[in-house]
Amino acid sequence: MKVYGTFPRRITEQSQRQEHKSFMSLARFLRRAMIVRALRNEAAFRSGQPGRFILLVPPTFEPKALASSARRVLSECKADLKDLYEYDVDPVDTETSSIWLEDLPVRLMEMPRYLLLTHSLDFIPHRCRLGFDAVLQMHPPTPAHWRAALKVCLGLTATNSEIDHISRLPIDLVALATGRRGSVSEIIDEVEAAIAEDDAKEARSKEPRASSRQPRSMTLQELSGYGPAQTWGLDLASDLAAWKAGELAWADVDRGVLLCGPPGTGKTTFAAALAKSCEAHLVAASVARWQATGHLGDLLKAMRKDFAEARKNAPSILFIDEFDSIGDRARFSDHHASYSIQVVNGLLECIDGLDDREGVIIVGACNQSEGIDPALLRSGRLDRQIDIPLPDETARRGILRVHQPDALADDVVEKIASVTDGWSGADLEALCRRARRRARKKRRAVMLDDFMAELPEEIAVPDDLVEVMAIHEAGHAVVASALGRGVELIEINRTISREHAGLGGHVTIQQQPLKRRSRTSYMEEVTILMAGIAAETVVYGEHADGAGAVPGSDLHRATDLATMMEACLGFGPSLVFHDAQDAFSLDRLRRSDLKLKERVDAVLKTSLKTATDLIAGDRQSVESIARHLIRRGSMQGHEVRPLIIGNGRPETEGRRLKL
């Protein structure tokens, strides 16, 4: 394409208008010719009489691009019929809303003169076709149309060879190239050069970059640390294979799954591996990508486009990242409620609207599932939820071997896995990348030292803080034991990482079997959560900020549990039920109801007093467990029990407090 340093001639406002007119009229002329040719046998309709027709558009043309030309053709009727009958034109394609199609019969009854433009009758429900008089086939412009358009719009003549050549090019590109080109051959050369350049650029973008380490897509069998998700995926691959072979009905195949887990746990990697194992087409989407296309209409259009691609390429995996950002219609604020509700409704429509999605598996990914609209998770939609936790040590070893293909000794892999507790798969991948970079700088193979040097700095916890942590966790253990709950494990952190660990420790309490749960049992749970604060208060006279400060802390969990008791479970003065099960809803409930907040505070204070009394009566056990923790860092349940039993009071079995 020519590049001018300056324009070859002066571009006046008049010449700009003339070029714009030529661009518009050439494309408009040819599209009008296509419409008129399709309606050539419907003279009464062309003159202004009522009629309803479906026009089948050639695959190389877009129905939406032809709609305005079709409206102009309908406006060109006899003078005495011009304002007698209403008319309209609508395009229908893969992105057309099924809700709009449901209203099509009503539109047909209200519109005497009507054209519907579409690529295929498959897009139109059969019952809607009953309202049309006929289905007419459209064809691309003929050579005669092109010759007339060039002569009338541009004043150019063309040879038969040029007509044959230009008629194969896209109308819009030809129209764009007419501005300052003086001959048909020059227009053809410019358009072909532009197409060739764009094709070459697209081909280059698809070529793999030269690299000694190309990323390799994995199958589910090669993944580590996915547990139930991996099992589900392998079962799905087997079911899809049976479905493709005609041995299994689609009704017996899972339609969707929601993957929940912390950031970096490999939900996107899982979707890619699932598609490869299932030999299915992968469509990767996200709410952010849909929103980036523009306003609400553009978002819904992008959403439908991804679903249409998945249906077209079935069997396929439609992966929707950031699924929790879709939201819940019950939580939207008044300011943005209308917009957000339409997004949720649009997604529901795509998932199970009129269009059949046989062969399409939807995989949603999120960090928290509590804020997702329940309608999206009901049966037939994303009705299965699988948690993907941070990888354990065995899984970390497998992940390291995947991301570090250069052979490492088993003891090296085990050492790295042992010191990366709490790391996600993405963290481990980044660690391997940094270790390889360090080895490259030294021009040698990767060694253990490269990994250790790239680990975040470890900071030793001061002895006085270690003692506070030990007292805090021992308090949980002693109160849990006093309330008949067994202790499985106690741990404290002697060192912390700047990036991956938190100051503190944790106690694992034995899960109670399914049983009747009353106000008393819930109060006992709150009391156990408040026991860390109680232990610090008894030993030091006050508690520090370790029990609160962050979401998920002891105080946070105790507050939410107390709120549920008062507002959701009927354990407060009111039996009114509030639908608030997650942290966000419970916090909003407390903010909006000051009396509820006061009752929650009373529950917390009562539980704290109970825990304080228990610990004050068995302080010796708390201090004994704390001393062992300071020396060893962790204790198993069978090591904890003798320290409590041997200090003056037997462990209770199912003891109930009068709270």
DSSP letter string over 243-272?
HHTTSS-GGGS--EEEEE--TTS-HHHHHH
φ and ψ of 497, to 5 deg: -100, 145
**471: Cβ–Cβ under 8 A, 6 or more apart, which residues?**
535, 536, 539, 540, 622, 623, 626
The residue written with tokens 């700047």 in the block is: 498
- The pair of three-digit structure tokens given for residue 501, joined into one six-digit string: 């660990």
- The pair of three-digit structure tokens given for residue 152, joined into one six-digit string: 């009338």
Q: Is 429 a catalytic residue?
A: no
Whether cis (ω within 30° of 0) applies to the bond prior to 58 is: no
First-to-final CA distance of the chain = 85
- The pair of three-digit structure tokens given for residue 18, joined into one six-digit string: 């003339």
DSSP letter string over 494-559?
SEEETTT--SSEEEEEPPPPS----HHHHHHHHHHHHHHHHHHHHHHSS--GGGSSSTTSHHHHHH
What length does the chain have? 659
Which H or E run contains 297? helix 296-312
Give the gyration radius of the chain's Cα atoms. 35
- The pair of three-digit structure tokens given for residue 253, joined into one six-digit string: 């195949």
For 578-618, give the secondary structure using H, E and C. CCCCCHHHHHHHHHHCHHHHHHHHHHHHHHHHHHHHHHHHC
Pairing of strands 360-366, 281-286: unpaired
DSSP letter string over 146-189?
HHHHIIIII-----HHHHHHHTTS-HHHHHHTTTT--SHHHHHH
Residues 521, 490: contact at Cβ < 8 Å? no
3-state SS, residue 657 = coil
Q: Which of 162, 349, 429, 473 is catalytic?
A: 473
Spatial distance between the Cα atoms of 459 and 495, rounded to a whole number of angstroms: 5
Helix, strand, coil percentages for the chain (3-state, nearest 5): 55, 10, 35
Of 485, 490, 488, the closest CA to residue 473 belongs to: 490
DSSP letter string over 43-94?
HHHHHT--EEEEEE--TTS-HHHHHHHHHHHHH---GGGTTTS-EEEEEE-T
Residues marked active site are found at 473
